[in-house]
Amino acid sequence: MDGKVIAITGASSGIGAALAELLAGKGARVALVARRQQELGEVAARCGPEALPIVADVTRREQVEGALAACLERFGHVDAWVNNAGRGITRLVSELTDDDFDEMMRVNVKSALYGMQAVLPHFRARGRGHIINVSSMLGRLPLATVRSAYNAAKHALNSLTADLRIELRPQYPEIHVTCVHPGVVATGFGRHARHGGADSRQVPGAQTAVEVAQVIAEVIEHPRADVYTRPGAQQMVVSYYAAEDMALAEQQPPFVSAHVPR
């Protein structure tokens, strides 16, 4: 990890901040991208003098491209780009508005698409690189129905990640594309969801942001395609999709309680 240049979006809090601090502690040079200038500066200060805070709205393509340019100007290259920015929602499918759905796609999918497309020419020119998209277990399993459009956005992100990986493999086998699937994480995610919601920090068994960051740091050092941050999570996914009747599977734990308190 020593000396690697890693850009992280959504780096002003939560998983992104924890990952930035962890990687900086391992000797990486980190570029931190987020909208909130004060919080971003505080995280960068904890990461040390080489950390580069970049204030940008990653739902705007030109600002993502500007963030990459700032990173290249400071460090000369990028080794890994982590698309971590995201936001949840608390609204059932039957209640969704156009604005609800559009925002979930903009924040959770288009921001990552902009990051992937911005950094790809640089990685192609170098012949190597690593794109990491932070998805969610909710992009694999219907474990929280009130997250509705967020779940759909993460499903879309999963597909784009796999499609890009397959696209690049024949000509660029050293450009790795990874999808990471955390479960509930003890951050402000739930409280800051569109339309509000339960505080994720109060959910029993929630992982810490540091625990998730440790998984992401490990996959940067040892790239893999698809990564789950909780033991047993991948087997849950396999069992669900192997079920002869998903509707019957959804009547059993953990799906019978597939809701998030409002």
The catalytically annotated residue of 150, 228, 240, 241 is: 150
pLDDT at 261: 46
Average pLDDT of 204-217? Answer: 91
In a domain, 262, yes or no: no
Per DSSP bridges, beta strands 129-134 and 29-34 are: unpaired
Query: What is the token pair recorded at 98?
Result: 């156009």
Tell me, yes or no, whether 225 lies in a domain. yes
Q: Is the peptide bond before 204 cis (omega within 30 degrees of 0)?
A: no
Which residues form the domain of 157?
A: 5-257
152 assigned to some structural domain: yes
Closest listed residue to residue 87, CA positions, set 210, 245, 195, 230: 195
Structural domains in the chain (count): 1
pLDDT digits (tens, 9 = 90+) for 1-51: 789 999 999 999 999 999 999 999 999 999 999 999 999 999 999 999 999
Sheet containing 226-228, strands listed edge to edge, beginning at the edge strand earlier in sequence: 52-55, 29-34, 5-9, 80-83, 129-134, 175-181, 226-228
Q: What is the pLDDT averaged over residues 181-194? A: 88
The pLDDT value recorded for residue 97 is 98
In this prediction, residues 200-223 reach a mean pLDDT of 90
% the chain with pLDDT above 70: 96
Rounded percentage of the chain residues whose pLDDT exceeds 90: 86
Let me know if residue 18 belongs to a domain: yes
228 catalytic, yes or no? no
Which CATH number covers residue 43?
3.40.50.720
The reply to whether 121 falls in a domain is: yes
Residue 109, pLDDT > 70, answer yes
| pLDDT tens-digit series, residues 132-183 | 999 999 999 999 999 999 999 999 999 999 999 999 999 999 999 999 999 9
User: Do 19 and 43 contact (CB within 8 A), yes or no?
Assistant: no
pTM for the whole structure: 0.94
User: Is residue 186 scored above 90 in pLDDT?
Assistant: no
Say if 62 falls within a structural domain: yes
**26: three-class secondary structure by DSSP:** coil
Tens digits of per-residue pLDDT, 53-96?
A: 999 999 999 999 999 999 999 999 999 999 999 999 999 999 99
| Torsion angle in degrees (nearest 10) through CA of 61, 63, 68, 73 | 150
Whether 206 shows a pLDDT value over 90: the answer reads no
Q: Which residue has the higher pLDDT, 206 or 151?
A: 151
